[in-house]
Amino acid sequence: MNYKRYIQGLENYIVFSSYVFLMAVFVGYYVAQNYPHEIYLLIEELKTFFSSIKNSTSFEIFTFILWNNVSKLLLLILLGIFAGLLPIFSLFSNGLILGVFAYFVSKEQSWQFFFLGILPHGIIEIPVLIISSAIGVRIGKVAILRIFGGQEKISSEILNAIKFFIVILVPLLLIAAFIEAYLTPIFISLPI
């Protein structure tokens, strides 16, 4: 399998997925800014989640993050077969949460704190999310075209997606999980 050619074939899907994600981030920030009381429950859920792993070891956090990201993104790719709707929805909801998170963290802490907490691992994790969603959308397109007589085989499309995910994206998720578990706590504890 030619991985370079595969990623080049995803270019339009990646651009589309990037727009969806960025739009969702702005929507999340706008909603949090203008309707903070309605968003408060989401923030409380996020705080509960983070407090539940607060006493875990770095290795436990690393394995949890890695397993969570790998399993969810693989599922996202595979469920793209349903017209690519789940990847788009997941991408939008993740962007929405990031926008809400950005608003509240920047207000309660600072923008520096937000960027120190997100950028080190997010610079890898967010592109992997966008690429995984792009793969899912592409699988959805192939599935729709197949229904209407398209020539591409859905099985080979899924097989190529899984190969690309395992060989290229999983190692990136491993690096991102390591950074998030071991380095992000150091970054956010730096004096700002």
- pLDDT tens digits for range 80-104: 999 889 999 999 999 999 999 899 8
111-120 mean pLDDT: 90
Handedness of CA 122, 125, 131, 135 (dihedral sign): negative
Residue 117 has pLDDT above 80, yes or no: yes
Total-model pTM: 0.91
Max CA separation in the chain (angstroms): 60
174-191 mean pLDDT: 88
User: Judging by beta carbons within 10 Å of its beta carbon (0-12, 13-18, 19+), is residue 75 exposed, middle or buried?
Assistant: middle
Under the phi-then-psi rule, with left for phi > 0, alpha for psi from -120 to 50, and beta for the rest, what region is 149?
left
Q: Provide the pLDDT confidence category of residue 40 given band limits of 50, 70 and 90.
A: confident
pLDDT reported for residue 49: 64
Residue 52 has pLDDT above 70, yes or no: no
pLDDT reported for residue 180: 92
pLDDT reported for residue 189: 78
Bigger pLDDT: 36 vs 16: 16
pLDDT reported for residue 39: 75
| H helix intervals, 35-110 | 36-52, 58-78, 85-108
Report the chain's mean pLDDT, rounded to a whole number: 90
Rounded distance between C-alpha atoms, residue 179 and residue 69, angstroms: 14
